[in-house]
Structure 1
Amino acid sequence: MSEKIIAKRRPEEDINLRLKDKLDLNLIPVFSTVMQRRNITKAAQVLGMSQPAVSNAISRLKKTFGDPLFVRQGRGIEPTPRAFQLEAEFQQALFLIHNVFPPAHFEPHKSSRVFTLAVLNPLDTLFLPRIYQYIHHHAPGIRLNVCSGQSRYTLDGEHVDFMLGYESTMGENIVNRLLFEDEMVGVAKKTWGQNVSLMTESAFYRARHAVVSLKNSDSFSAIWYDTPLKRSAIAYQGQCLFSLLEVVSRTNLIAIMPTWVTRRWHNGPEIIQFTLPLAVKKRACYLTGYTTNPDDPGFRWMLDTLTRICQKP
């Protein structure tokens, strides 16, 4: 008796068959972008499509799955439970699509994509002029939405594509690149009156300090004030390092600064720098990218471009 052989399909083949029966695969990236942006207009900008074209694509998906998928909320839209369910299923489909079909060539000088960039203080003052100048000359159609001083995955409902800051972020669909290590120094008023060359760590924390507010979750200063004893040295909490320098130049407070900040400060002669009597004298600076498709050529271009521009303070 001959044995009947049954060929089993791989899970991805089942997915492909189900998707082929139900919808145009071109609608999946549109759906994914709308899920990320929670806004039809912003999704259209990212995709390089017209707003009516994106709306039409979502309407086709609504008819296919018999669900509204998105409902109006404030200035944006919110996914329905069915949309969240589809998002999980489409993630695997997108993975298969990106592996079967090579990504399209990205031409930055012709692109009109929108990227949202979060840059933590004080790195915004250092890098944003360089970034804007480069984009203006090499990709004038690309638009940057820049948020300063925060590092959440979303800022006021806005999806973040890239972040520059002093902390790396781990997780799915996240790419981290170490850019450089920022050299730190202590700063004080020139007439401070103490012998900084002989200062010990205990003497350092007995002095009165100015810091970037520890109430800010992205505080530049927080790592040096991780115990109640160290925090007791804080006499002033400001919002940015340049304001701290102004305060230090006019008081008997001291602060921790990147060396490039003190070099750029307009009242430099009024302050002195000294070597920190601390174990941590550097802070690593990272570029973080968030994407559902690491092989997206536009994402890769911007990631590589920001890496080149932001290598050195």
Structure 2
Amino acid sequence: MNYIHHKATMDLRAFHGIDINLYPLFIAVFEQKSISKAAHILSITQSAASHALQRLRRQLQDDLFVRTSAKMQPTPLAEQIYPEIKRALITIQNISIPHQVFEPKAAQSLKIAVHDEIEPMVFPKLVAHFQQFNPEIQFSSIKLDRKNIIADLAAQQVDFVIDLEQVLGEKIKFERLIQDQFVVCTQQTEMSEHIYLASPHIGVSSRRTGVLIEDLYLSRKQLSRQIFLRCQHYSTALQVLQQYPTAMLTLPQNIVSHLQIEHTLNIFNVPVKLPHINMGMYWHKDLEENKRHRFLRNEISKIFA
């Protein structure tokens, strides 16, 4: 693509035959490796996306993408021109968008991927806050799939992911919303490090396998506990606690207020010093300057400030 940098003049008449609207589709197909996903991002039908791609192929006289193993793989020319096209579109976007003011009423929808147990902490506040701007806004709480967080954000299947803090790479941004700490729920009336570590525990996780975050922290202190039951929901764990007088459940303090705790159960601070839990929102770096996305992001930050 050196000719782009070295050519000193521009033939403005040539733009009469160029459909610039085809190039966002090129970027979407290149990044998603899928025409259907690209169509979803651009809010057009798959048929319209396929026809637009054919026009771009004719315009550039290259296949651009070849279907292999259910994915659209870029041709050598597509690989070569992708960086230049993306830079050009970002430049056009940055010139145009700053002069546009986003109207809060234009926020028609909000899609967030969130874990079942975190949903009660988040969505009532979101609904109450955003309906001030648009009473008809549509909310979607989507089951969190931790394996596909990056892909879902990149494909704009969701606007945000709200989850515990973790490193997801340079393309994914994170902002802390809530800082929490672990507490212990049990029928026992006393608590100490010895009692805590010697008692049978219930672990809660939506994952089939893997170490619970509490046990990861304990192992760093060369401590361990016995988990006799691993289940998916805290409500289930609380019911089991009623049947086992010595059993213990470790859970985030903020979740306690959204659960029905029987009077026979006691809440204690964890007698072992564990790090705070940071929960926040994730979004894709490419949407950092998007007016709608920035508005939603700022308002969510205000809710939990």
1:97/1:155 Cα in 2 relative to 1: closer, same or farther (>3 Å)?
closer
1:243 equivalent to 2:236? Answer: yes
- What secondary structure does 2:124 align onto? helix
> Partner amino acid for 2:165?
E
- Which residue of structure 2 lines up, in the alignment, with residue 146 of structure 1? 142
- Which residue of structure 1 lines up, in the alignment, with residue 277 of structure 2? 283
1:64 equivalent to 2:92? Answer: no
Q: TM-score, normalised by structure 1?
A: 0.73
> Partner amino acid for 1:264?
H
Q: Shift in Å at residue 180 of structure 1?
A: 1.9
Aligned partners of 2:73 and 2:9: how far apart in 1? 24
Aligned partners of 2:142 and 2:123: how far apart in 1? 9
Of 20, 29, 46, the match for 2:24: 29
- Which residue of structure 2 lines up, in the alignment, with residue 124 of structure 1? 119
Q: Shift in Å at residue 153 of structure 1?
A: 1.4
Q: Shift in Å at residue 87 of structure 1?
A: 4.0
- What secondary structure does 2:272 align onto? coil
For residues 177-228 of structure 1, the C-alpha deviation after alignment (integer angstroms, 9 at most, x for no partner) is 1112113211102xx3x521xx12x442222111124745695545444369
| Number of residue pairs matched by the alignment | 294
Aligned partners of 1:292 and 1:32: how far apart in 2? 12
Of 261, 270, 295, the match for 2:255: 261
Query: Can you give the 5+ residue segments of structure 1 that lack an aligned partner in the other structure?
Result: 1-8
Aligned partners of 1:212 and 1:173: how far apart in 2? 30
- Which residue of structure 1 lines up, in the alignment, with residue 102 of structure 2? 106
- Which residue of structure 2 lines up, in the alignment, with residue 180 of structure 1? 178
Query: Can you give the 5+ residue segments of structure 2 that lack an aligned partner in the other structure?
Result: none
> Partner amino acid for 1:241?
Y
Query: Percent identical across equivalent pairs?
Result: 18
1:157/1:174 Cα in 2 relative to 1: closer, same or farther (>3 Å)?
closer
Alignment of 1:38-53 (within 5 A): 40=35, 43-49=38-44, 52-53=47-48
> Partner amino acid for 2:90?
F
Aligned partners of 2:287 and 2:32: how far apart in 1? 15
For residues 139-177 of structure 1, the C-alpha deviation after alignment (integer angstroms, 9 at most, x for no partner) is 435563612363631359965542111114353332211
1:235/1:145 Cα in 2 relative to 1: closer, same or farther (>3 Å)?
closer
Aligned partners of 1:49 and 1:85: how far apart in 2? 26
> Partner amino acid for 1:303?
R
Which is further off, 264-273 or 223-232? 223-232
Aligned partners of 2:19 and 2:8: how far apart in 1? 13
Q: Shift in Å at residue 122 of structure 1?
A: 2.0
> Partner amino acid for 1:148?
L
1:211 equivalent to 2:203? Answer: yes
1:123/1:17 Cα in 2 relative to 1: closer, same or farther (>3 Å)?
farther
